[in-house]
Amino acid sequence: MYKKFKQLSFVIGLFFFIVSLILFVHILFSDSTGKINFYTAIVFFIFGIAMMAARDSEKEKTESKIKNT
């Protein structure tokens, strides 16, 4: 678990994922929400998931290169 936190892409992805959740909660409980908050939350959510997934694909590529040599 802690090995994931050593990868910068995972940490950045986790940050954007958490910020998107905060924005979604704000949208749900606030009376005056603009569309910008909703669109920003969607973009942050997608970017966060992509960054966390990119970390896994980098690891798989590195492991496959090591096995092939």
Per-residue model confidence as pLDDT tens for the chain (69 residues) = 577 778 888 899 999 999 999 999 998 888 776 788 889 999 999 999 999 988 666 666 666 667 776
Can you give the pLDDT at residue 3? Answer: 76
Can you give the pLDDT at residue 68? Answer: 72
Number of CB atoms found within 10 A of residue 59's CB: 14
Whether the Cβ atoms of residue 51 and residue 13 lie closer than 8 Å to each other:
yes
Can you give the pLDDT at residue 20? Answer: 96
Domain ranges of the chain: 4-68
Outline where 1-69 has alpha helix (H): 8-29, 35-68
Burial (Cβ within 10 Å: 0-12, 13-18, ≥19) of residue 23? buried
